[in-house]
A and B are shown apart, each in its own frame.
Chain A
């Protein structure tokens, strides 16, 4: 089947996305150079997930005051996190389902299941969480948050990253 990119999008938003031009920048590409069964895989979600015991929530109060701003900072989620340890702040989606089962947005348990079955080599000891609404903040993602994720990926020898925009 061909996925309808607008199937779940409010109709009022559709023209804006349809009218968006195709970027003329060249695509970037890194080869995935090893068998899955030897690879270490990590996850990145933009569902606004954080650990309330040790991390600040994403700053939605500022976003309420400045609607074109979204918190562009990073939260690191350890691979041994449990459902009861997570919370989420996101003003653009209903987070109820992921607060019941984080695997709908950040499938840590499923990835560990696949490592147990040797489908992948191993799971990264840490995963990454951002808050997906960005207009002004996208530049901070490019200059700061992105390089921070890269440094952490290198530090834990991640071979590939699965991104899940919320």
Chain B
């Protein structure tokens, strides 16, 4: 996503990125970043909670209107409601993504190869 933000911004269109990983957006040197401590896939809030979604969106618009220099980060002062452990489980897919499976297999293979070298 930072790749797209840079292309759009470079074309003269201001961008604001609403993200649960503001530290990563900062590493990419994104122009305006609104950090949210929400589960992945839920950048604006809880299902059916229009007030929470609006509050997040309004914060993004406010940052858009007030930021005066690149790499401006503001964090939203909203705590995700409910049990964080359940939210952590709920956002994840039912099975690991292909790249996660691929990487796990690579780690296991490296361990097996390492063990055979040791023997």
Which residues of A approach B to under 8 Å, CB–CB? 1-10, 17, 20-23, 25-32, 35-36, 41, 44-47, 63-64, 66-68, 90-95, 97-98, 100-101, 103-105, 107, 109-111, 113-114, 119-120, 130, 132-135, 138, 141-142, 145-147, 149-150, 153-154, 158-166
Contact = CB atoms under 8 A, between A and B. Distances in A.
Interface in B26-67: 26-31, 35-48, 50, 53-54, 56-58, 60-61, 64-65, 67
A147 B12 CA distance: 12
15 contacts: A8-B39, A25-B29, A27-B71, A45-B43, A46-B1, A68-B99, A100-B48, A107-B53, A114-B58, A114-B61, A130-B4, A134-B3, A142-B7, A146-B3, A160-B16
B50 A110 contact: yes
Given A67-B98, A101-B48, A114-B58, A36 B64 contact: yes
A158 B14 CA distance: 10
Contact of A41 (B3, B50, B61): B61
A32 to B, nearest CB: 4
